[in-house]
Amino acid sequence: MRELHLAKSAGFCYGVRRAVELAESAASSGTPCVLLGHIIHNQNVVDRLASLGLRTVESPSEVPEGCQVVIRSHGESRAVYEALQARGANILDATCPNVKRIHQIVSQAEEHGRQPVIVGTPDHPEVVAIAGWCRRPVVLSGVEDLTKWLSGDPKRRELPLTFVSQTTSTQKIWEDCVKKAKKECTNPEFFDTICGATSKRQEEAHQLAAVCDNMVVIGDRKSSNTKRLTEICREVCPSVQQIERAEELDWSRLAQAEVVGITAGASTPAWIIKEVCDKMSDEIMEIEESFADMLEQSIKTLNNGDKVTGTVVAITPTEIQVDLGTKHSGYIPVSELTDDPTAKVEDLVKVGDEVEAIVVRVNDQEGVVTLSKRRLDVDKHWEEIEAARENETVLEGVVTEDNKGGVVVSVKGIRVFVPASQTGLPRETPMSTLVKEKVRVIITEVNRARRRVVGSISRVIRAERAAAAEKVWAEIEEGKHYTGTVKSLTSYGAFVDIGGVDGMVHISELSWSRIKHPSEVVKVGDTVDVYVISFDTEKKKISLGMKDRSQDPWTVFTTTYQVGDTANVRVVKLMPFGAFAEVVPGVDGLIHISQIADHRIEKPGDVLAEGDKVDVKITDVDMENKKVSLSIRALLEEGPADEEPAEDEE
């Protein structure tokens, strides 16, 4: 044996450490106290506590009335708590906070009409306790049990199922069950309740075992998590030995190994690990110091307001569990993750991510620390907001609410008030239209002491529009095409925004057809393709066109009709001397008053009305001036072709 490596996460987890410390404190109080069941799965620890005067009993009926009783780290059922309370016992609850949380999940699931499904070893004390918080628990050891249970009654697939896991289970067992349930069940929900410390310990053991010739796993043989560690190590290491104490070491196997790794279950105390290390290495001080540093870090005290860094170990619909490397279990409620109401948790953090947060509340009794990433971010963002005010930097945010005075924009988790006059909206437009929209603002006022920030959206719009306009004027040329937005309509045309600059499309340039108003072709808000007809950089005027120049109406007319042809036309305008009619879009012909009827009329309106469609004969085409003469009279005088004479005329 030349190298010896100790896993960083070897030994007590925070839940076990808290339970043992609570028991030791009770033993030193001088008040009679008993342990209900083995406080943890380690006989050496139980024997040590017994030497301190803490007797172990197996049921509530054995607890002397009025005596203190320590609930073990695995937890107990609701019925046990009720029995102890009935005996007047003073309960010292050492249940692991992670296990306590599972009790709440399954209990609330049943209250909401859901069926709790517990994935774990059925006879394990932790699983028995979890089941004791349900009226109709389903306990499954793995995916095979789940398959059999679902096959037992097809209706079970349609039940609202709530899945939880034993804290010391492996990710593979849990993920196999989740995959199966997602595939076959119609209404499942999942809470990955495997302890983050357990997952981390298992991952470190796997990585360490992969580079070692021999692995030593220290822990009680009844300990579920120690058994899991041994199984995981055996997957990648050729030689693994599980021991409870140093005297069980197989020295013949160690002597043949170049690299030896050591890990320990969550119920293994530091003094046993050090005992094993003492036996295995001549470099005892180096190992002891390394372990001492690790131990010091694990029992570090946390206070409200402390800034901490941890690793995300689990994500649920309501909170993010964070491993802080201490005896505490860290939780970030979803509401304390971000101030962005549109953000999704899965887009912000993932298991394995390192996050910074601030301690909001410490519950040493339960070993739980409530954290806030949002509040820490807000403190950082105040500095960014102040810098943005100085530098006039444009920031992005989401409008969260509106009121009579303006709107509130969440920028980096900070409320920024934008007065109505600075929203950039027309007066008649409700400010509620901005709610939930992403906007760009410039900060105009900051008062950190009063937590007041004022901003402007319109200033950003004006600045961006000015920059866009400058670009348009720098690059504009006749014939250039733009995609624009119709901003307003008048009787004589439409104004189109082509990117910071408005140009005017005259009514005659909207369509080849004769129209009375631009609204016949476009409406405000339409996206249109336009081209530059002319522009004046000094007067800042642009004339735009929309008609397709490639489709010349005169060419269409001359290739379709010739003198003598009959055409069905639409009357578009009446004049004292005649009527203009559209032959094809963009080409009108004149029906002179003398050609409207086969008899004398006073005015065209006596026979025709605008919009009428009539048949005419094309009597003349002036190619040079592009004028067309039409006649209704010519068709009337011709009469029906091959008309037979009437009988009385013979």
Encode pLDDT of 117-155 as tens digits: 999 999 999 999 999 999 999 999 999 999 999 999 989
Among the listed residues 590, 556, 597, 586, the one whose alpha carbon sits nearest the alpha carbon of residue 573: 590
Region label for 564, one of left (φ > 0), alpha (ψ between -120 and 50) or beta (otherwise)? left
Contact call for residues 46 and 38 (beta carbons, < 8 A): yes
Instruction: Name the pTM for this structure.
Output: 0.47
Contact call for residues 20 and 42 (beta carbons, < 8 A): no
Contact call for residues 112 and 100 (beta carbons, < 8 A): no
Domain 97-194 adopts which CATH fold? Cobalt-precorrin-4 Transmethylase; domain 1 (3.40.1010)
Tell whether the torsion through CA atoms of 181, 182, 186 and 189 is positive or negative: positive
**Hey, what are 261's tokens?**
């790794």
**Hey, what are 345's tokens?**
């948790």
> Does domain 307-376 bear CATH number 2.40.50.140?
yes
Task: Supply the CATH classification number for the domain 559-638.
Answer: 2.40.50.140
SS3 208: helix
Tell me, what DSSP letter sits at residue 318?
Answer: S
Determine the Cα–Cα distance for residues 360 and 303; give it in Å rounded to an integer: 8
Among the listed residues 321, 285, 90, the one whose alpha carbon sits nearest the alpha carbon of residue 192: 321
**Hey, what are 505's tokens?**
């499309």
Please report which helix (H) or strand (E) contains residue 616, including its range: strand 613-622
Residues 6+ apart with CB under 8 A from 639: none
Please report which helix (H) or strand (E) contains residue 21, including its range: helix 14-28
**Topology match between the domains 307-376 and 392-461:** yes
Quote the pLDDT of residue 317.
65
CATH architecture of 392-461: Beta Barrel (2.40)
Provide the edge-to-edge strand list for the sheet that holds 187-190: 138-140, 115-119, 160-165, 187-190
Please report which helix (H) or strand (E) contains residue 475, including its range: helix 458-475
Residues 6+ apart with CB under 8 A from 79: 132
Can you point out the beta strands (E) in 43-150? 55-57, 68-71, 90-93, 115-119, 138-140
Contact call for residues 369 and 196 (beta carbons, < 8 A): no
Which DSSP string corresponds to 416-470? Answer: EEEEGGGS---TTS-GGGGTT-EEEEEEEEEETTTTEEEEESHHHHHHHHHHHHH
Determine the Cα–Cα distance for residues 567 and 583; give it in Å rounded to an integer: 7
Contact call for residues 5 and 212 (beta carbons, < 8 A): yes
Our CA angle for 14, 19, 23, nearest 5°, is 145
Determine the Cα–Cα distance for residues 556 and 259; give it in Å rounded to an integer: 91
Which DSSP string corresponds to 444-456? Answer: EEEETTTTEEEEE
Determine the Cα–Cα distance for residues 46 and 18; give it in Å rounded to an integer: 15
Encode pLDDT of 614-640 as tens digits: 999 999 999 888 899 999 999 988 766
Tell me, what DSSP letter sits at residue 488?
Answer: E
Q: How many CB atoms lie within 10 A of CB 490?
A: 11
Contact call for residues 573 and 579 (beta carbons, < 8 A): yes
Quote the pLDDT of residue 201.
84
Quote the pLDDT of residue 292.
46
For the CA atoms of the chain, what is the radius of gyration?
Answer: 43
Contact call for residues 553 and 591 (beta carbons, < 8 A): no
Which is the catalytic residue, given 21, 58, 76, 126? 126
The type of residue at 396 is: E
Among the listed residues 317, 325, 413, 329, the one whose alpha carbon sits nearest the alpha carbon of residue 370: 329
**Hey, what are 216's tokens?**
């030593």
Tell me, what DSSP letter sits at residue 514?
Answer: -
| Residues in the chain, pLDDT under 50 | 282-292, 294-296, 298-299, 641-650
Tell me, what DSSP letter sits at residue 352?
Answer: T
Q: How many CB atoms lie within 10 A of CB 378?
A: 17
According to DSSP, the β-strands at 587-592 and 627-631 are: parallel
Task: Supply the CATH classification number for the domain 14-93.
Answer: 3.40.50.11270
Residues 6+ apart with CB under 8 A from 54: 23, 26, 27, 33, 34, 35, 70
Secondary structure of 7-18 as H, E, C letters: CCCCCCCHHHHH
Task: Quickly tell me which residue has 């096959």 as its tokens.
Answer: 151
Q: What φ, ψ does residue 614 adopt, rounded to 5°?
A: -135, 155
In CATH, which superfamily holds the domain spanning 476-545?
A: Nucleic acid-binding proteins (2.40.50.140)
Q: Taking the domains of the chain in order of start, what are their residue ranges?
A: 14-93, 97-194, 307-376, 392-461, 476-545, 559-638
Instruction: Provide the Cα torsion 256, 261, 267, 272; round to 10°.
Output: 60
According to DSSP, the β-strands at 55-57 and 33-36 are: parallel
Determine the Cα–Cα distance for residues 2 and 258; give it in Å rounded to an integer: 5
Q: Residue 126 catalytic?
A: yes
Within a 13 Å sphere around the CA of 519, how many CA atoms are in the beta-carbon half?
4
**Hey, what are 431's tokens?**
């400010």
Quote the pLDDT of residue 231.
92
Task: Quickly tell me which residue has 């048949």 as its tokens.
Answer: 615
